[in-house]
Amino acid sequence: MPDLSHLLLAVLQALLLLAAAPLVSGMSRVVRAKMHTRHGPGLLQDYRDLFKLMQRQDVRPPSAGPVFRTMPIIMMACMLVIATGTPILTRFSPISACGDLITTIYLFALARFFFALSGIDSGSSFAGIGASRELTMGVLVEPVMMLALFMAALLAGSTDLGAIGAAVASGRVHSLTAVIVAGLAFAFAVYIELGKLPYDMAEAEQELQEGPLTEYSGPSLALLKWSLSLKQVVVIAWFVGVFLPFGSSLDLSVGGVLLGLVAFAVKLVLIFLAVGIVENSVSRTRFRLTPQHSWLGVGIASLSFVFYLVGL
């Protein structure tokens, strides 16, 4: 069982991510505007959007049931729980009982389950197609994530995210090449999971009216948008915690944790800048062709597996 200080750290980092999520998505909008050479909204625009939506009325389609109503809450709760288990500010996971790689993948599946189900529950055809695509992307991405993380876990001797991160940071792995290649495969899977172009399939704004979000409005839409930007931050934190844990604190000292916070913020901004540049310089992949891309991910992960087997 985690003690009180670990619990506090867990709550702190989950709340920090929640507070920072609209800032990070706002940054993406700024990057996009800069690349379009337009003025664009300010960095804090997403906070203003959320606040405005919270004041509006909730309008629900006639067939919407309890799943539709509770999904934004489940989604946010799920992302917060994942955030408590991920090693973000520290090298170890604050609550290791939910910081296992398998648990994390399946907690994402919990969010995915309700996200897609709400799409069907709304009765909208756009939301239904978005739901189907969301789950299909899960089918294509989860095996890559599992194999890549499994490789890193094998090299570290533990499936605990913190333990893997610690092993990667110390270089105490018997095959560095395998870890790097597994990191590449995982980065690719994480990029797809972000739902950004060219893999913006489920919430395709121009194509499907934002998929499962189509019928949401008012406070529910605000919570959902917030949760989705939180999800992007959590997914990146997951990647950083396992494969780029450099700079995070080794203990619970205040100075160390603050330093870890700074290091994490820098990494987060750099990664989101890179992601922003990629997403604004490519066009959408045709949905039919996504398996070819995910096979690439399987290929990289399998390469890591080969390196692991031969011990390079």
Partner 1 sequence: MTMIPLVSLHDPLHLLLLSLAISVCGGVASLLLRACDGAAIRVAGLAGIAAAVAGLGASLPALSGPALVFEAAGPYPFAHFVLRLDPLAALLIAVISLLSLVAWIYSLAYVREYAGKGVGAMGFFMNLFIASMVLVVAADNAFWFIIFFEMMSLTSYFLVIFDQDEEAVSAGFLYFLVAHAGSVLIMAAFFIMANYAGSYDFAAFRTASVPAPLNSVVFLLGFLGFGAKAGMIPLHIWLPRAHPAAPSHASALMSGVMIKIGVFGIVKVGIDLLGASGGVLWWGLLVLVFGAVSSVLGVVYALVEHDIKKLLAYHSVENIGIILLGVGVGMIGIGIGQPILAVLGLMAGLYHLVNHAIFKGLLFLGAGSVIYRLHTKDMEKMGGLARTMPWTAFSFLIGALAISAIPPLNGFVSEWYTYQSLFAAAFSGSWLVKLATPIAAMLLALTGALAVMCFVKAYGVIFSGPSRHAHPDDVREVPATMVIGMVILAIACVVLGLAAPVVAPVISGIAAATLGAATITVADGVLLIPADAHQAVLSTPLIAVMLIGAAVLPLLLKSALSGSLRLPARQAAAPWAAGYLPDAHMSATAGGFAQPIRMFFGPLYEVRKSIAAVWSKVTFGFERFISFARRSEPCWDRALVDPVGEGVVASGRRLQAIQGGDFRVYCLYIVAALVILLVLTVR
Within positions 145 to 184, which residues make up the interface with partner 1, using CB under 8 A? 145-147, 150-151, 153-154, 157-160, 163
- Nearer to partner 1 among residue 27 and residue 141 (C-beta): 141
- Identify the residue among 266, 270, 291, 312 touching partner 1 (CB under 8 A): 291
Stretch that binds partner 1, among 22-30, 169-177, 270-278, 287-295 (CB under 8 A): 287-295
Candidates 57, 206, 255, 283: give the one binding partner 1 (CB under 8 A): 57
Task: Check if the beta carbon of residue 120 is closer than 8 Å to that of residue 127.
Answer: yes
Choosing from 12, 23, 33, 67, the residue that interacts with partner 1 (CB under 8 A) is 67
Q: Collect all residues with Cβ–Cβ distance below 8 Å to 103 and sequence separation of at least 6.
A: 85
Give the H or E element holding residue 136: helix 125-156
Residues 116-135 that bind partner 1 (CB under 8 A): 116-117, 119-129, 131-133, 135
The Cα–Cα gap between 96 and 163 comes to: 10
- For the bound state, the minimum distance from the C-beta of residue 53 to partner 1, rounded and expressed in Å, comes to 9
Q: Does 287 bind partner 1 (CB under 8 A)?
A: yes
Interatomic CA distance for residues 169 and 125, integer angstroms: 47
Does position 188 bind partner 1 by CB under 8 A?
Answer: no
Binding residue for partner 1, selected from 31, 74, 168, 234, defined by CB under 8 A: 74
Minimum distance from CB of 136 to partner 1 (Å)? 4
According to CB under 8 A, which one of 42, 65, 205, 250 is a site residue for partner 1?
65
**223 lies in the site for partner 1, by CB under 8 A:** yes
CB under 8 A, 24+ apart: contacts of 149-155: 149/101, 149/105, 149/182, 149/186, 149/242, 150/101, 151/178, 151/179, 151/182, 151/301, 151/304, 151/305, 151/308, 152/179, 152/182, 152/183, 152/186, 152/242, 152/243, 153/101, 154/308, 155/179, 155/308
From candidates 34, 60, 207, 259, binder to partner 1 by CB under 8 A: 60
